[in-house]
Each structure stands twice: as structure tokens, then as C-alpha cells.
Amino acid sequence: MTILTGVLGLIWGSFLNVVAYRVPREESLIFPPSHCPNCDHRLGPLDLVPVVSFLMMKGRCRYCREKISWQYPLIETITGIGFALIWSFMQPSNGAEIALVVLNWLFYSFLIVIFLVDYKEMIIPDEFNLGIGILAIIKMIVSQSYWTELLGFAVCGLLILLIVVLTNGMGMGDAKMFAVLGLWFGFKNGLFVLFFSIIVGAILSVFLLAAKVKTRKDRIPFGPFISLAAIFGIFFADPIMNWYFQWFNL
């Protein structure tokens, strides 16, 4: 079953590439059908097989021979691996647990597209934060857990809003994202994701500056760091925070 979920993730990852490209441009996700962005030729079934088509065509459009970005097979692969890991990690055995797996798949999907869009466009569309918020509410209903999630929503959102107002070091999209992540993870795990994203952001920002990918004058989007921390949190927030609170007898 894990392999099947991985294949499902590969297929879904192809759609996430479309979402990441079209939503910031306010284009329809359905029309026009998939086409080469260079020559506009409509892509056929053989052009759309996740990862395989890219390898068979040696990373070039079959019609105009323009290079295809490595982003496409990379996102397909990352989505496939993520879907398989989430299924294997959660090991669902009943309908409610399967529903939670699906919610985590969708949550993971939003994190991927937020990473891509904020990195490229320096914006976190409200549609993505709203989507995570809706998923979080459904998760609360399925899990029948409410108060820690609502507290996480308030605390995480207000902390980043305070940083935005006082330092202008982040954007409102970041504040909204932290608020809905607090709603998804709850108070304890939401704080973990918040602080872990700051650590990841600091380390990777230094790396980007050292590698001269970015300069000190460039704005570095924070959404990708939040997404990485949240993906890490899916698997490790619970055990790490449980250990932390037990260690300090909190």
C-alpha cells in the first residue's frame, strides 16, 4: 500500500506544479489544458507521465526542444515520497485514521506549493493559507480536539503579527500562515514549528549569503523556511515536544 500511495503522490505532484505556476498568475487550474510554456503546444498523455516523461525526453519539450525545468520531476518525486512516508508513519487502520492521512497529504501539498510560490514570487497567496485553515478545522472535527488548536491559532498568529508590526522583518502572509499552522498543530507543536522555522531560516539564510545565491540587499522569503519546518513537524513535532515537556516536568 505504501508503494501505491507513493505512485499517487507522483501523479498529484504533477498537479502541484500546475498550481504553483498558475495560482500566482490568477490563471485557471483547468483551462487551458497542460501545455508547453515556451511553444504553447498542448501536451499529450506521453508527455505527462510523472518523472518518466522528463527522463524519456531528456529534460526537453518534445515539440520545441526547449529545456524543461528540473522543478517538475523534483516536485513530483518529493510529493510521492512524502505521501508514502505519511502513510507509513501514520499506519491507518480505520476510516477516521485514513481521513487523517488524506488531510495530512493535502496539508503537505499546500506546504510544497507555498514553498515554491513564495520562493519564486515572494508572496503567500491567501488561498493557500485559507486552504490550510479549512483542513485544520476538518482535522479538529475528525480528532475531536479543539482548545489547544484554537490556542495555537491565537498565540502563533499574534507572535508573528507582533514581529511584523515591530520589525517589518516578515510579511502578513507569514503571520497568516503561522496562525493556520497553529490551528493545525495545536499550541505546543505550533510553537515548535514557529521556533524551528526561525532556526532553519537563520541557517539557510547564512548559507544562501555565503554561496552568493542571495546578497544582503536581497529580500529572502520566509515562507519556504516555514514550510520546511512544518513538514518536519508532521513527523517529529509530537515526540520532540513530548520529550521536552517531560524533561522539564512541564
The predicted-structure confidence for 199-240, as pLDDT tens digits, reads as follows: 988 898 888 888 877 777 778 889 999 999 999 999 999 888
* Model confidence at 27: pLDDT above 90: no
Domain boundaries, the chain: 1-91, 95-250
* Model confidence at 190: pLDDT above 80: yes
Q: What is the pTM of this model?
A: 0.92
Give me the mean pLDDT over the 148-165 stretch.
92
Q: Among candidates 75, 76, 43, which has minimal Cα distance to 60?
A: 43
pLDDT for position 1: 83
26: left (phi over 0), alpha (psi -120 to 50) or beta: left
List the helix and strand counts (H, then E) for the chain. 9, 0
The predicted-structure confidence for 93-107, as pLDDT tens digits, reads as follows: 898 899 999 999 999
Which of 139-148, 181-190, 208-217 has the lowest average pLDDT?
208-217
pLDDT for position 248: 67
Q: What b/e readout covers 114-148, taking b as 16+ CB neighbours within 10 angstroms?
A: bbbbbeeeeebbeebbebbbebbeebbeeeeeeeb
The predicted-structure confidence for 64-89, as pLDDT tens digits, reads as follows: 888 888 999 999 999 999 999 999 99
Q: Write down the H helix ranges in the chain.
A: 2-22, 52-56, 71-90, 95-121, 126-143, 147-167, 172-185, 187-210, 223-247
User: Binning pLDDT at 50, 70 and 90, where does residue 250 land?
Assistant: low
Helix 71-90 × helix 2-22 angle, to 10°: 140
pLDDT for position 216: 74
The residues pairing with 67 across neighbouring beta strands, listed in sequence order, are 60
